[in-house]
């Protein structure tokens, strides 16, 4: 029995690796693509959303008071006088050109009006209007800087106390917290989708494809037990699936710091964290291989298998998206729910907030479901209706 299973597994692997391009595209390409795209596009994508820090923002001001000009001269905001406020179209055009980053309109005699204003009077305070383009990072930065400047000026007029004054470090978030936040929002979804979609095409070819091409019947005509054929096939798909999972995992982890512009340092995770993550991912891969192979066995052709697998892929995507929100579940029962348990375990491990028992239940249940599914698959291979329907 063992020999027959290995013979089938070897044949399946030989078939898969006989097409070097296909093997490369299925196994190595997803991980490599993510790594290179994130590495080389990271800078470009980052600069698209980040302001140019080397440039002094220019704010065109109408009726700028002497006090504000004096404060601005000591800051990194450059103030330029403007006779009157241009139209919105003209403001947008000048901001896009980079001539100006924002506009500010002060009331006439602003300093006198501020000095005379009594907050207890209930009258409206002198208003400053700042116009900016939030779609332009430089303009947003200019708005933020001028607002901050004016807020500071306003506070200084009746200063009674300060908040977070000085150059102290008040954000107590650790690097590992920042890493966890970013990683849990991306990795579970990406890994589930990459592994599922890659294994989907391979399993569909291996089972439904063999039926479609008529080569399955040739195999069934040999004295080998049908359950050995099923086991041999699922073993081969598992080997390929694990290689895909490993490649995707390496690509994602290697590319993540680049796409996050240095906000994520993957070194915050230790060997134990990576080992646990690998266990969760590999056991999830076993589960997905089993699910995909079982569904593919129901189909008569690769096209039909892909159609049958589409709803399952949607489920996988939805479960993966859950990783983007909230914290890991506490209850151990959640870790026995297929696929959801893997996402929850990954969230827990990545955010350094997991119970070892929960991760153990997740891995054990994934393996148990896989074993039950493989037994079902073996029975399915005994079905004439499934094996000979073309």
Partner 1 sequence: MEPAISVRELRKTFKLSAKQRKIERADVRVKTAVDGLSFDVAPGEIFGLLGPNGAGKTTTLRMLAALIKPDEGDAFVGGASIVSDPASVRARIGFLTSELKLEDVFSPDYLFDFFSELHHIEPTVRDERKRVLFERFGIDRFAQTKVADLSTGMKQKTSLAVSVAHDPRVIIFDEPTNGLDVLTARTVTDFLLELAAEGRTVLLSTHIFSLVEKVCDRVGVVIDGRMVACGTLSEVAGERSLEDAFFDLYAQTVGEAS
Site for partner 1, rule CB under 8 A = 3-4, 7, 11, 14-15, 18-19, 213-215, 217-218, 220-225, 384-385, 388
At its nearest, how many Å lie between partner 1 and the CB of residue 308?
A: 16
Planar angle of CA 212, 213, 218, nearest 5 degrees: 110
3-class secondary structure, 270: coil
CB-nearer residue toward partner 1: 83 or 221? 221
User: Which residue is it, tokens 């506070």?
Assistant: 155
Sequence-distant (≥ 6) Cβ neighbours of residue 106 within 8 angstroms: 61, 62, 63, 64, 65, 68, 128
Residue 216 near residue 389 (C-beta atoms within 8 A): no
**What are the backbone angles phi and psi of residue 60, rounded to the nearest 5°?**
-85, 125
CB-nearer residue toward partner 1: 13 or 41? 13
CB-nearer residue toward partner 1: 2 or 160? 2
Hey, what are 27's tokens? 């196994």
Q: Which of 51, 44, 150, 63 is nearest to 95 (CA)?
A: 51
Strand ranges for 32-173 from DSSP E: 58-62, 78-81, 102-105, 129-131
> In terms of residues, how long is the chain?
390
At its nearest, how many Å lie between partner 1 and the CB of residue 295?
A: 19
CA–CA dist 165, 167 (Å, integer): 7
CB-nearer residue toward partner 1: 40 or 388? 388
At its nearest, how many Å lie between partner 1 and the CB of residue 8?
A: 8
CB-nearer residue toward partner 1: 236 or 252? 236
Q: What is the DSSP letter of 108?
A: T
At its nearest, how many Å lie between partner 1 and the CB of residue 377?
A: 19
At its nearest, how many Å lie between partner 1 and the CB of residue 296?
A: 17
CB-nearer residue toward partner 1: 11 or 78? 11
Hey, what are 144's tokens? 């933020």
Q: What is the DSSP letter of 265?
A: -
At its nearest, how many Å lie between partner 1 and the CB of residue 210?
A: 8
At its nearest, how many Å lie between partner 1 and the CB of residue 293?
A: 18
CB-nearer residue toward partner 1: 117 or 388? 388
At its nearest, how many Å lie between partner 1 and the CB of residue 212?
A: 10
The pairing of beta strand 129-131 with beta strand 102-105: antiparallel
CB-nearer residue toward partner 1: 152 or 215? 215
Count the neighbouring beta carbons within 10 Å of the beta carbon of residue 158: 7
CA–CA dist 121, 313 (Å, integer): 64
**Residue 198 C-alpha from the chain's centroid:** 18
């Amino acid at each position: 029995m063992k020999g027959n299973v290995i013979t089938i597994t070897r044949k399946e692997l030989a078939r898969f690796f006989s097409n070097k391009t296909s093997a490369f595209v299925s196994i190595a390409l997803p991980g490599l693509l993510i790594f290179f795209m994130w590495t080389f596009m990271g800078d470009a994508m980052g600069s698209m959303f980040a302001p140019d820090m080397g440039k002094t923002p220019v704010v065109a001001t109408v009726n700028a008071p002497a006090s504000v000009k004096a404060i601005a001269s000591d800051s990194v905001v450059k103030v330029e006088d403007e006779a009157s406020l241009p139209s919105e179209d003209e403001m947008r055009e000048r901001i896009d050109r980079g001539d100006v980053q924002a506009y500010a309109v002060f009331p006439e005699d602003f300093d006198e009006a501020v000095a005379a204003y009594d907050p207890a009077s209930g009258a409206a305070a002198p208003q400053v209007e700042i116009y900016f383009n939030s779609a332009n990072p430089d303009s947003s930065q200019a708005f933020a800087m001028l607002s901050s400047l004016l807020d500071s000026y306003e506070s200084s007029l009746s200063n009674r106390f300060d908040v977070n004054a000085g150059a102290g470090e008040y954000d107590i978030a650790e690097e590992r917290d920042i890493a966890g936040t970013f990683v849990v929002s991306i990795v579970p979804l990406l890994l589930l989708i990459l592994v599922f979609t890659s294994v989907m095409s391979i399993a569909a070819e291996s089972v439904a494809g063999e039926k479609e091409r008529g080569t399955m019947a040739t195999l069934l005509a040999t004295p080998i037990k049908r359950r050995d054929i099923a086991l041999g096939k699922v073993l081969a798909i598992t080997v390929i699936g694990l290689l895909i999972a490993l490649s995707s995992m390496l690509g994602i982890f290697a590319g993540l710091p680049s796409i996050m512009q240095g906000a994520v340092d993957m070194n915050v995770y230790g060997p134990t964290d990576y080992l646990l993550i690998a266990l969760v991912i590999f056991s999830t891969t076993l589960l997905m291989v089993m699910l995909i192979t079982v569904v593919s066995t129901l189909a008569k052709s690769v096209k039909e298998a892909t159609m049958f697998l589409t709803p399952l892929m949607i489920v996988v995507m939805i479960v993966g998206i859950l990783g983007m929100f909230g914290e890991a579940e506490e209850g151990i029962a959640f870790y026995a729910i297929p696929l959801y348990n893997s996402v929850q375990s990954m969230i827990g491990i990545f955010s350094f907030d997991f119970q070892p028992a929960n991760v153990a239940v997740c891995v054990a249940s994934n393996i148990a479901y896989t074993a039950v599914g493989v037994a079902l698959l073996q029975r399915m291979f005994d079905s004439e209706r499934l094996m000979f329907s073309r």
